[in-house]
Structure 1
Amino acid sequence: MKMYDLTQPLSTSTPPWPTYEPFEMKYFKRLSTERVNGQIIRTSNHVGTHLDGERHFWTAGRDIASIPLEDLVGPAAVVDVSDAVGEYGIYTPEMIEERVEVKTGDILIIHTGYHHYAYNKEEADEEAYMCKHPGPNMEFAEWCMEKEIKWVGVDCGSADHPMNTVIRKLRPDLAEECEEKLGKPLTEIFPDEGRQLMHTKLFPEGIIHVENMGGEIDELLNQRTTIGCFPWRMVDGESSISRVVAFDGME
């Protein structure tokens, strides 16, 4: 069996989601003095490749420990939309279905190409990665519900369009740039009732997502495979740093 690691490397250089605490790691024991190495980690759950759980935006939702493995592993479609959408673009269900078959109950992985801007790449551009990547609108979220998608994965900073998140307020200069690019006011493209729709609309439906994927994702574009997401078994966890793996030939 061939496995593909779809996880980004995690280090103190990995940028967290804007306004969230970064990943910190230090030694509190060393072999030189105590004959053992020991480390302490302090981090938010939203740094590097991570699973956004239901409780992240829905208080009554399942915690990370309550999500069965059967909900995290299964048949998947990996879809490359990088040729159809670029900076601030909006991807649609039609773009997905014309590139690869998506079956009811699938895991869906969206490749925008923006993982190439991640911190550990030669093309690293944190502003582009977090603030300018493509994203979906309400039509896409409704399609996910119709297809009963198990979970969605993206290779960029958020499963939502960056201008449908807090980034719109944090970076008004980029919000203006996006409006010029798309030719419409952001309030029209992303009205208040659809605020962070991939979080607020889909989590109560049991459709969660993994953000900041990468690794060997380029080797699986427009293919069907089997994928698993493996978070910490964290009681009361709203989200979790995770490892995501594709298993070739298992579907």
Structure 2
Amino acid sequence: MSRSGSRPRFTSARISTAPCTRPTIPKATWPAVITPEIIEGAGADIRDGDILLLHTGWHRHYEGQPRQDLVKYFCFHPGPNLDTLHWMLKKKIRWWGMDTGSCDHAMNTSIRTMRPDLAAKFTKLHGKAPAEFFGTFEYSHKKSGRRVTADVFPFHSWAFQEGLLHAENLGGDIELMLNKRALIGAFPWRYQGLEACPCRIVAFLDAGENVEAVGHAAKAIMAS
């Protein structure tokens, strides 16, 4: 889903506009890497400043679903690479979400050290170990000023300090929103200083393009 709005903060409700897209992921390249080309080729109307929700179908493997497979859900899910992070920053994506166990690719998380057998599988398929395949990234930590070099979890570190937040484990009625634009509301617990928390995400289909912020908290967020 996609539409524009102010930057999200996990201290109050977040309402903005956005599109939900279903990228076509080649099955032969497990675990699939979601590139900017795949996202742009999905057919969604993605504009600068949008919220972006990606549907991969992986939510069907979560607990309680008919095709439940938690190992597949957490260890085999697709995800973006550094090119996609750069693309999102260039597009000024406000925040984004995906129906997977992490918004980093499974082999670009600690899974690759917790499950060396899967990392070996990935290496055999791609001809490179996960660390080499996804590459190293560097950034200056804005609060401490230190230079950070890392090769894992880019969407959980570098992206966050650039204001690019994300929502993981999306599900529910996400399949009803494919390639549609809507007003998106994200409603986490209302506490300051949270690292992460459960969040209800709702698509409003009949709200139009312009929505008035009501209340001091909402107006403060929309003005930021």
* 2:113 aligned to which of 156, 169, 181: 169
Equivalent residue, structure 1, for 2:10 = 64
Equivalent residue, structure 2, for 1:30 = none
Matching of residues 1-251 of structure 1 within 5 Å: 64-65=10-11, 69=13, 72-81=14-23, 83-86=24-27, 87-98=30-41, 99-193=43-137, 194-250=151-207, 251=209
**Stretch deviating more after TM superposition (194-203 or 179-188):** 179-188
8 Å CA contact retained: 1:88, 1:181:
no
8 Å CA contact retained: 1:77, 1:102:
yes
Q: Deviations over 1:95-122 (max 9, x none)?
A: 2122212111110001111001011111
8 Å CA contact retained: 2:186, 2:199:
yes
C-alpha distance 169-106 of structure 1, shift in aligned 2 (>3 A): same
Q: In percent, how many aligned pairs have the same letter?
A: 38
C-alpha distance in 2, partners of 1:63/1:237? Answer: 10
Task: Please state how far the C-alpha of 1:192 moved relative to its aligned partner.
Answer: 3.8
**Structure 2: unaligned runs, 5 residues or longer:** 1-7, 138-150, 210-224
C-alpha distance in 2, partners of 1:189/1:226? Answer: 36
C-alpha distance in 2, partners of 1:132/1:84? Answer: 13
TM (normalized to structure 2)?
0.78
Equivalent residue, structure 2, for 1:53 = none
8 Å CA contact retained: 2:16, 2:51:
yes
TM (normalized to structure 1)?
0.70
Task: Please state how far the C-alpha of 1:63 moved relative to its aligned partner.
Answer: 7.3
C-alpha distance in 1, partners of 2:57/2:127? Answer: 23
C-alpha distance in 2, partners of 1:237/1:154? Answer: 20
Task: Please state how far the C-alpha of 1:186 moved relative to its aligned partner.
Answer: 1.4
**Structure 1: unaligned runs, 5 residues or longer:** 1-61
Code of the aligned partner of 1:84: I
C-alpha distance 85-233 of structure 1, shift in aligned 2 (>3 A): farther
Task: Please state how far the C-alpha of 1:207 moved relative to its aligned partner.
Answer: 0.8
SS in 1 for 2:18: strand
SS in 2 for 1:239: coil
C-alpha distance in 1, partners of 2:167/2:76? Answer: 18
8 Å CA contact retained: 2:10, 2:192:
yes
Q: Deviations over 1:39-93 (max 9, x none)?
A: xxxxxxxxxxxxxxxxxxxxxxx9732xx54xx3211111102x32443100111
8 Å CA contact retained: 2:108, 2:131:
no
C-alpha distance 181-226 of structure 1, shift in aligned 2 (>3 A): farther
